[in-house]
Amino acid sequence: MATIARDIFKAYDIRGIVGKTLTNEAAYLIGRAIGTQAAEKNIRQIALGRDGRLSGPELMENLTRGITESGIDVLNVGMVATPMLYFAAWQHSEGSGVMITGSHNPPDYNGFKMMLGGETLAGELIQDLLAIIEKDVFNTSAKPGSVTEKNIAAEYQAHIVGHIKLKRPMKIVIDAGNGVAGAFAGDLYRALGCEVTELFCDVDGHFPNHHPDPAKPENLQDLIRALQESDAEIGFAFDGDGDRLGVVTKDAQIIYPDRQLMLFAQDVLSRNPGAKVIYDVKSTRLLAPWIREHGGEPVMEKTGHSFIKASMKKNGALMAGEMSGHVFFKERWFGFDDGMYAGARMLEILSAFDSPTAVLNALPNSISTPELNIHLAEGSNGHEVIAKLAQTAQFAGSDEIITIDGLRVEYPDGFGLMRASNTTPVLVLRDVLQWKAAEVGEAVAPLKVVGPANGKRGTEVTFTPSPQTFTNGDSCSTPGQNAGAIVTYACNSSRTDDAIVSISPALTDATNILVPDCSTNLTVETWRVW
């Protein structure tokens, strides 16, 4: 019996640490298993691509060896973004392809996203690969498969430029974070008529500038600065393999993917009234009513690109999106997640307006934390933790508990979410408050220092700056429950030590707030929710 690390077989892809859980031998065995499944389905060719990670070439070599030994041909499209591999699979390999990518994971990770005959491998289908390996029931062929190489970039670009038409030229900034999208995104947007400023578009598997994950605000700061220092109108950021999109406005606002989906859904529904739009469990509660308001039918689904694609097929949906930044267009496209194509669709919409910033900032919004991560030991099962919580936890005052994916607890003024990541040993938390900003007035409930921080740290949360600096006696408040945070603030123009504070009511939109022991003006620099 062949041995392989079982924990690399995730819910919707295969992913592990290179040289430890994901080895060259593992890649070979996975190739043989995929080839075996392909042979059972009478699939003759599988497209293969890889992102810019340093481990990609070796893993591709061993994966190719396993597939061809099973008698299956390989179409090698080389270093590409994940959506370009999907494109090649649909156009040239009857919907069969494997992308070697670690997506937004750290540099020492890599993995495989897989589809056979138009079906994305997920859940039990991935576990079937493991079973083939462990039972050693590989397909054998007297004649090995062949390998053909093909450059897919020009065809992919031409397909997009052929139907995406901007109303006017636009000036944009893109940040690829040294991921593989940097090799292609600039050329694509220039071909659409844009003037493009490129940040970190040299593909480098070390990711020397910042991590390629546009879901994290700290990875968007270079893009924000470039927008503010130039005459560009909008900024795009991509993850490591180019299937996710981050968006930043001229005035430094991050337009999170659930709000992007509002704009995309409005556009698609204008041509397809009554269409279904799928969104994941992490998305804002403002999205469903927006979809209904614009004549569509909202459908909530599990987080994960393979689950979303399966739901689109089941429901006949024309588009879908995830809070992570995956956007899926079936209308005018193929239905797979494509960050570069989503950027093109956004430019097409925004080019009809003089101020893209005004259009994007006008979308309904709620206050939320970014994704807060609780790291578990490698190999730990976060799903078991969530299952135990679902059985024992009590949520006073809640309206509804949704268990589609993790625990989403709905309250009258917002929701809280805890779920297990399907790619890394992490619990993901998010808290969203639906609110309208209150007027700045007399002191209502100023912050009160309740004890020293004692070096405690947490996840930084960035909020929209308040319109003024508050003086002693002033306060800004919004509706909400009591909250706890660590606040770093400057007093008398000097930085103080962190203090643990209680906030009542929660001050969710102020970066300039009152700490009573400050005799003069102060400015809060960061909130660290814990």
Catalytic residues: 103
Q: How far apart are CA 370 and CA 18, in angstroms?
A: 28
Q: How far apart are CA 187 and CA 338, in angstroms?
A: 16
Which element (helix H / strand E) includes 172?
Answer: strand 171-175
Report residue 324 CA to chain centroid gap.
Answer: 2
Alpha-carbon distance values, 59 to 29, 169, 456 (Å): 11, 41, 41
Token pair recorded at residue 465:
């700056």
Q: Is 105 helix (H, G, I), strand (E, B) or coil?
A: coil
Q: How many helices (H) and strands (E) does the chain have?
A: 13, 30
The CA R_g of the chain, rounded to the nearest whole Å, is 24
Token pair recorded at residue 208:
């020397």
Q: Is 44 helix (H, G, I), strand (E, B) or coil?
A: coil
Which residue type is seen at 162?
G
All residues at 6 or more sequence positions from 224 whose CB lies less than 8 Å from its CB, including other chains: 235, 248, 252
Among 437, 395, 432, smallest CA distance to 287 is for 432
Sign of CA dihedral 186, 189, 191, 195: negative
Q: How far apart are CA 136 and CA 3, in angstroms?
A: 10
All residues at 6 or more sequence positions from 105 whose CB lies less than 8 Å from its CB, including other chains: 15, 111, 240, 423, 424
- Whether 459 and 370 have beta carbons less than 8 Å apart is answered as yes
Beta bridge mates, 119: 116
Among 405, 373, 368, smallest CA distance to 390 is for 405
Token pair recorded at residue 151:
């450059």
Q: How far apart are CA 155 and CA 169, in angstroms?
A: 23
- Whether 239 and 346 have beta carbons less than 8 Å apart is answered as no
